[in-house]
Structure 1
Amino acid sequence: MNKDLRVIITGATGMVGEGVLHECLQSPDITAVLLINRKPSGVTHPKLKEVIHSDFFELSSIEGQLSGYDACYFCLGVSAIGMNEEDYYRMTYTLTLYIAQVLSKANPEMVFCYVSGSGTDSSEKGRVMWARVKGKTENDLMNLPFKKVYAFRPGYMQPTKGLKNVKKYYHYMSWMYPFFRAVFPSFVSTLKELGQAMIAVTKDGYPKKVLEVKDIIKLAKTAT
């Protein structure tokens, strides 16, 4: 079991990234966290270092700060709502693959954890635009020279209490979480479980590369 893990997190100013960051700061297995953000997260912690960088399509000026890490928890992403396929492809596929390629060169022994989504289309041929793009992103990440690549496909995620970047609609839905979990067990987890599952696969691996909600919940139990 590998302890004293050093991890990079992207997207920590969003709800998912903030939740994953919270679990990393709580975990005794994580000794250092590097955030790559466009704006400050507002979080301070002895484990935490933050690099503020405006252009994620050009990382050459900060590449020297990205080596020596065991994992990347890639939580950066945009909603497909209101976006055409070209723009969504650029912000989802092109951006993710560029950052991942930079990190794979700097850290060939890195475990790369990508937050995808329930319903992602691995065939890349379905009718749903976002699912096709996410599917291609997953598939091409798997071919990069990392130690391991895992695609996490969460559905509804119950937010972690006390965090500030919770999306507004969750405030109206959170009270229904026990009902959702009971009726839709293959679609509902917590943000806490996602973070714990990422730490678990970094430490001990997992036989599947694509992790659905049931896998996330199973892994989180091993972390606790």
Structure 2
Amino acid sequence: MQRKALVLGASGLTGSYLLEILLESELYSQVTIYVRRPLGRSHPKLVEQLINFATIESWTEADDVYCCLGATIKTVKTREAFTLIDLYAPLHIAKLQLTAGSKRFLVVSAAGANPKSSVFYNKTKGRLEEALKQLNYSSIYIFQPSFILGPRKESRWLEELGIFFALKAIPIMKGRFKKYIPVHAKAIARSMAYFASHSKTGIHVIPSHIIKQWEKPDFVPTT
């Protein structure tokens, strides 16, 4: 039986790759996206809903909820706006969708996510993770990529600098440092689609070095 999906953040780097994968997947008969502005994308399976993430109270019929929402303080200007996009909106929609009957929630977090972190970005991501774990979804998948590679619309020079050094350091990223290996956005999208279609009950955290395996176009997990 085909499923229905809801995608948050379909206009972003990872979300745009994910949207294309889900639209072409035989697993889904319908893919709904929540966006603030029209994408200009047309597809028989696609349902586009224009919403205000700050005030949304509606829900949609979906078996699987994919959350690729993410911002930077540089783009949204304030910590309050960042917290809305990266914490309050995803959590609120997760609760609405759980009440509506959604079974699986898959979210892009970050390698350094920790609710007790002194780094505001990592602390916010960690707070979201901890809150989601309290929700009674059949399956919750938390993806923790390090630096995300791919063609962005806006320039993020600090992130680009970090990516430069991280790429140079890949050969020595072993043991506990493997979780900081940079990954391409398409690999994140491909891994999310895979784990949704092969989901197991419970809470699952997928670190960066595991996600990176999906950079190989023909990669298929053996277990």
TM-score (norm 2): 0.78
Partners of 1:22 and 1:96 lie apart in 2 by: 21
Instruction: Pick from 7, 14, 19 the counterpart of residue 9 of structure 1.
Output: 7
Partners of 1:59 and 1:155 lie apart in 2 by: 30
Residues 1:91 and 2:91 are matched in the alignment: no
Indicate the residue corresponding to 1:155 in structure 2.
146
Indicate the residue corresponding to 2:33 in structure 1.
35
Residue segments in structure 2 that go unaligned for 5+ positions in a row: none
Partners of 2:106 and 2:137 lie apart in 1 by: 11
Paired-residue identity, %: 22
Q: Provide closer, same or farther for how the CA distance between residues 52 and 214 of structure 1 changes in structure 2, counting only shifts above 3 A.
A: same
Indicate the residue corresponding to 2:185 in structure 1.
191
For the Cα contact (< 8 Å) 2:140–2:203, is it kept in 1? no
Q: Provide closer, same or farther for how the CA distance between residues 223 and 73 of structure 1 changes in structure 2, counting only shifts above 3 A.
A: farther
Q: Secondary structure at the match of 2:220?
A: helix
Instruction: Pick from 212, 215, 222 the counterpart of residue 207 of structure 2.
Output: 212
The count of aligned residue pairs is 208
Question: Residues 1-224 of structure 1 correspond to what in structure 2 (within 5 A)?
Answer: 4-53=2-51, 55-60=52-57, 62-63=58-59, 66-67=60-61, 69-81=62-74, 85-108=79-102, 110-121=103-114, 124-159=115-150, 166-168=153-155, 183=171, 186=179, 187-205=181-199, 209-218=204-213, 221-222=219-220
1:89 CA displacement = 2.8
1:209 CA displacement = 1.6
1:126 CA displacement = 2.1
For the Cα contact (< 8 Å) 2:183–2:212, is it kept in 1? yes
Partners of 1:83 and 1:130 lie apart in 2 by: 14
1:84 CA displacement = 5.0
Deviations 1:107-156 (A, max 9, x none): 24x211111112111xx222111111110110111111211111111123
Partners of 2:183 and 2:204 lie apart in 1 by: 19
TM-score (norm 1): 0.78
Deviations 1:69-111 (A, max 9, x none): 2211111122134855444333322222111111111124x21
